[in-house]
């Protein structure tokens, strides 16, 4: 594949280290950013875990509520890989309090360029090719 996704290491207190790639999409109901982790099993990409959760309150652009309920090591993974930073906000759903993270756009683009292109096009933030200003 010519547009190979870069791998990063997810270090889980349960399963140890796993090489993962990012899967960036959007939730259908609110267009909020979805980030999932994929791992390669026997030559095929398999879902490893959901980084973000879709809550009733949509996260702002380039932000997401981290899935600390299912992935207790996810905050450490995000900060250690410089993928984002805690905003100071959380959202409660059920018994869990989900931290809101602002993602590092450049880092996400580096790790999952196709997903970021699609996401940015869908939120109206598509990067336009550089053009020279026309003289008036």
Q: Strands of 8-12's sheet, edge to edge?
A: 8-12, 16-26, 33-41, 44-50
Cβ-proximal residues to 77 (8 Å cutoff; 6+ apart), any chain: 10, 11, 71, 83
Average pLDDT over every residue of 3-32: 90
Total-model pTM: 0.87
* For residue 1, pLDDT beyond 50: no
Of 19, 20, 24, 54, nearest to 36 by C-alpha is 24
Domain extents for the chain? Answer: 8-114
Quote the tokens at residue 60: 């702002």
Q: Which pLDDT tens digit goes with each residue over 72-118? A: 999 999 999 999 999 999 999 999 999 999 999 999 999 999 999 99
């Amino acid at each position: 594949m010519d547009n190979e996704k870069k791998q990063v290491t997810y270090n889980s207190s349960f399963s140890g280290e796993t090489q993962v790639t990012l899967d960036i999409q959007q939730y259908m109901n609110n267009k909020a950013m979805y980030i999932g982790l994929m791992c390669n099993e026997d030559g095929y990409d398999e879902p490893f875990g959901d980084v973000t959760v879709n809550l009733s309150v949509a996260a702002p652009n380039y932000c997401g509520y981290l899935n600390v309920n299912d992935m207790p090591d996810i905050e450490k993974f995000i900060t250690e890989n410089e993928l984002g930073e805690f905003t100071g906000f959380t959202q409660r759903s059920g018994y869990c309090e989900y931290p809101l993270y602002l993602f590092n756009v450049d880092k996400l683009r580096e790790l999952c360029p196709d997903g970021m292109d699609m996401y940015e096009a869908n939120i109206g933030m598509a990067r336009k090719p550089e053009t020279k200003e026309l003289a008036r």
